[in-house]
Amino acid sequence: MRVFVTGASGWIGSAVVPELLAAGHEVSGLARTDTSAAALEGRGVTVVRGDLDDLDSLRRGARAAEAVVHLANKHDWSNPAESVRAERAAVETLTSELEGSGRRLLLASGVAFRVDGRAPTEDEQNPARGPQAPRGGTESLAMEFVERGVHSVALRFAPTVHGRGDHGFIASIVDVARRTGVAAYPGDGDNRWSAVHLLDAARLVALALDASPAGSAVHAVAEEGVTTRDIAEAIGARLGLPTRSVAPDDVADHFGWIGGFFAMDLSAGSDPTRARLGWSPTHPTLLEDIAAGAYDGA
């Protein structure tokens, strides 16, 4: 299959691309910089020059492909409204290009929402809808296009897709610990984060491309929930720092922008995903990665 990947040189995309190539797919990838383009070409990927703001490049990539794996996102936490705007525009462009073709669109999403106060399952709809919703409501938008001839599949990633070289949420929490001299957790530390290793997540994307039905969601979740206290204690043990609680009212001051996320319960399961796709995570857990020094250079 000819597969166009946005975010092909990013954190998740850099692991997904080798999985797709190993499965025999022809891969093209969106590249914003010369460095990204050279890295993709070195792997045998056809380069489509552009970025999320270059909607023509998205159209070109999708038009020449039999499937699109959309992983790119600005993730600009200093200007979240801009990230939301760009994500919405990108998915509107991709769905319009694929409309009526029956071609596949696998869309990065997340498990960071609740249904009646509990963790979501794969069979439940994401409540985020509309251009101003988290991630621009793009999972719901993609699902609306199933009836318009797009084979949409939601890739709901755990809040931490961890591994050596990760510069995401866990790396930010490690940075706060280094800066403040304490490995802290919010409140009583009983809230939980689901987690998945990068290589397990990449394998799941390849499986989902081949076997997930239109309108379905898959959960890239290897661990249903790791408490924030356990995360902080693992960071403290690795860095040689004390661990302590931060009162809920002080979370924003202590952690900065990441505090709002670290204080949330973002647990989720993946039993239906495993059963449907035969996915079985085999790589290290989050706490094992922290203990092994995966975030020493973060």
Q: What whole-number distance in Å separates Cα of residue 155 and Cα of residue 168?
A: 18
Q: How confident is the model at residue 157 (pLDDT cuts 50, 70, 90)?
A: very high
What is the mean predicted confidence (pLDDT) over 203-231? 98
How far apart CA 94 and CA 100 sit, in angstroms, is 12
Q: What is the mean pLDDT of residues 207-232?
A: 98
Closest CA relative to residue 12, chosen from 210, 113, 156? 156
125 or 157, which is more confident?
157
Instruction: Give the three-state DSSP class for 48.
Output: strand
Instruction: Classify 245 as helix, strand or coil.
Output: strand
pLDDT in tens, 96-111: 999 999 999 999 999 9
Provide CB contacts within 8 A for 121, sequence distance 6+.
115, 269, 272
Percent of the chain with pLDDT over 70: 99
Q: pLDDT class for 114, splitting at 50, 70, 90?
A: confident
Q: Measured in whole angstroms, how far is the alpha carbon of residue 3 from the centre of its chain?
A: 18
User: Which residue shows structure tokens 């891969």?
Assistant: 27
Average pLDDT of the chain? 95
pLDDT at 133: 83
Binning pLDDT at 50, 70 and 90, where does residue 298 land? Answer: low
Burial of 78: CB neighbours in 10 Å, binned 0-12, 13-18, 19+: exposed
Using the predicted structure, report yes or no on whether residue 119 has a pLDDT greater than 90: no
Residue 26, strand partner residues: 2
Would the pLDDT of 141 be above 80? yes
Say what the pLDDT of residue 78 is.
Answer: 83
- Dihedrals phi, psi of 249, to nearest 5 degrees: -70, -15
Spatial separation of the C-alpha atoms in residues 38 and 36, rounded to whole Å: 5
pLDDT in tens, 180-204: 999 999 999 999 999 999 999 999 9
Q: Model's pTM, two decimal places?
A: 0.95
What distance in Å separates the CA atoms of residue 68 and residue 153, rounded to the nearest whole number? Answer: 10
For residues 218 and 220, what is the distance between their CA atoms, to the nearest angstrom? 6
Q: What is the DSSP letter of 274?
A: H
Q: Which of 14, 16, 20 is nearest to 220 (CA)?
A: 16
Tell me if 211 sits within 8 A of 176, measured CB to CB: no
**Is the model's pLDDT at 115 over the cut of 80?**
no
On whether the CB atoms of residues 70 and 6 are closer than 8 A, the answer is: yes
pLDDT of 117 over the 80 cut: no
User: How much of the chain, in percent, has pLDDT values that exceed 90?
Assistant: 89
Q: What is the pLDDT of residue 127?
A: 85
Q: Which two tokens stand for residue 174?
A: 């490690």
Work out whether the CA dihedral 237, 239, 165, 246 comes out positive or negative: positive
How far is the C-alpha of 84 from the C-alpha of 66, rounded, in Å? 26
